[in-house]
Amino acid sequence: MLPLPAAIRLRGEIVLIVASSGITALLIPGGRTAHSRFGLPFIIDEYSTCNVKPNTPLAQLVVQARLVIWDEAPMMHKFYFEALDRSFRDVRKEVDKRNKYIPFGGKVVVFGGDFRQILHVIPKGTRPEIVHATINSSKLWSYCEVLTLTKNMRLLFGASVLDIEAKRKFSEWVLSLGDGRIGEDNEVDNTIALPSDFLIESAGDPLAAIVESMYPNILESMSDICYFQNRAILTTKNFIVEKINDYMLDMVLGGEKVYLSYDSPIHRNLNDDHIDDVHTPEFLNTITAYGLPNHKLRLKVGVPVMLLRNIDTRYGLCNGTRLVITRMGRYVIEGRVISGSNVGDQVFVSRLSISPSNVRIPFKFQRRQFPLNVSFLYVAVSKVTSREGLKILIADEDGEDTNVTSNVVYEEVFCNV
């Protein structure tokens, strides 16, 4: 996708590139998250709009832009794109009133992404609800022209003649996995048996097995910045993330520093004094939520961490940026960037007051803490560049090793793609 904006910018024209996640935005020259660029609300509904007001500098930037590119579109709720559509029509009608009746106000918008990867997450959502929330279920989809890219360039890039065939077969396997064409169909799930060379044998200690497989010789390699860049672990449950991070943190030598947050309820009016008696600091300390740092943050020098908030996008400090801790102070933590376009930069992170946007929490509170989380875990199957680089540990209900698992694919999402 990068040659397209490069060609347009070469002509002196403006291209706005955004992504659904901060991790992807960091990999794109001039990239920003869609939320930070267009002021999208975190809590969205069918009537939402962006924070782009007519006759403001941001509105003028939108008007002057020749092209807008939004990467990782399938992982966002369709309401975000419809909010962008409403705001673009509102801004562009100042140029020509007819733009009010044209999708995105007549602005050319390119959406990128892969429907085989994770779709928008709806807490406790049903399969129909998740499928109905995707961009290709939006009323805007009928105005889109679909262009399909089928060759996995990540796998084939830099491949020699000798291993090009092996990588081609692995690419086809990954594609079939994403399409749900591997395994046995049944009414409950799509059960698949993984090849034996992908599997990790736990020998009764799954944590030790997967850590040793992905992070061999970790103590001798921690000074190498590429060590953490080129490997990570993926899991689907937050409590497993915590277990693995704690296990690996205990392996790392050196002094540990523990940072505790200050949690307090947010008073909506003057009569809310009684809320302090109900939502005590001890209770607030126990709350965990997506995008919210833990109350107790354990860190050591040399440990990889991930930013949980956008701090300064100009310097690549976005939600998802990975750092390695180099110094721990009382009020500031120093780290070296190991992801994105600013690899090697030394940065400083201070505490922030963060209020979770989780609508399932029926009250408002804020947590003052460093916006960091230990990050030994990241990536997915489609990000792996070789068959040898993919290792999987599967345990059955009894904790025994197995090669059988469920491959959750919603085939109906591909119907109009």
Q: How far apart are CA 299 and CA 303, in angstroms?
A: 7
Within a domain: 382: no
Q: Are 12 and 48 contained in the same domain? A: yes
pLDDT (tens digit per residue) in 143-172: 999 998 877 676 666 667 677 778 888 888
pLDDT at 379: 43
- Percent pLDDT > 90 in the chain is 42
Q: How far apart are CA 275 and CA 273, in angstroms?
A: 5
pLDDT mean over 195-202: 88
356-370 tens-digit pLDDT? 876 677 888 999 999
Dump strand ranges (E) for 117-214.
191-193
Say if residue 84 is in the same domain as residue 139.
Answer: yes
Residue 397, in any domain of the structure: no
Q: What angle do CA 199, 383, 130 make, to 5 degrees?
A: 95
pTM: 0.81
Taking 60 as the threshold, does the pLDDT of residue 263 lie above it?
yes
Domain-embedded: residue 388: no
The more confident residue out of 189 and 404 is 404
Q: Per the structure, how many domains does the chain have? A: 3
What average pLDDT score do residues 34-45 get? Answer: 90
Residue 216 and residue 79 share a domain: no
- Same structural domain, 224 and 114: no
Domain identity same for 28 and 105:
yes
**389 part of a folded domain:** no
Q: Tens digits of per-residue pLDDT, 320-366?
A: 888 999 999 999 999 999 887 788 899 999 999 998 876 677 888 99
303: exposed, middle or buried (Cβ count in 10 Å: 0-12, 13-18, 19+): buried
> Residue 353: what pLDDT?
94
pLDDT over threshold 70, residue 284 = yes
Q: At what angle do helices 206-214 and 238-251 cross, to 10 degrees?
A: 70
Same domain for 247 and 276: yes
The answer to whether 403 touches 194, Cβ cutoff 8 Å, is yes
> For the chain, what percent of residues have pLDDT higher than 70?
91
**Same structural domain for residues 218 and 347?**
yes
Q: What mean pLDDT do residues 273-297 have?
A: 83
Domain membership of residue 386 (yes or no) is: no
Same domain, 271 and 175: no
Token duo for residue 67: 């092209």
Q: What is the mean pLDDT of the chain?
A: 86
Q: Are 414 and 214 in contact (CB under 8 A)?
A: no
pLDDT tens-digit readout, 123-148:
889 999 999 999 999 999 999 999 98
Q: Does the residue 148 lie in any domain?
A: no
Boundaries of domain holding 105: 3-143
Q: d(Cα 316, Cα 27) in Å, to the nearest integer?
A: 9
Q: What is residue 380's predicted lDDT score, i.e. its pLDDT? A: 46
pLDDT tens-digit readout, 4-20: 888 999 999 999 999 99
Q: Looking at the chain, how many residues does it have?
A: 417
Of residues 320 and 40, more confidence is placed in 40
Rounded Cα distance, 393 and 335, in Å: 31
Residue 381, pLDDT > 60, answer no
**CA R_g for the chain:** 23
407 shares a domain with 364? no
Whether 120 and 236 map to the same domain: the answer is no
CATH number of the domain encompassing residue 130: 3.40.50
Residues 178, 275: one domain? no
Tell me if 384 is assigned to some domain.
Answer: no
pLDDT single digits (tens) 72-121? 999 999 999 999 999 999 999 989 999 999 999 999 999 999 998 889 98
Q: Is 201 within the bounds of a domain?
A: no
Most confident of 65-69, 214-218, 375-379: 65-69
Residue 63: what pLDDT?
94
Strands across the sheet with 65-71, in order? Answer: 32-33, 14-19, 65-71, 109-111
Are residues 283 and 330 both part of a single domain? yes
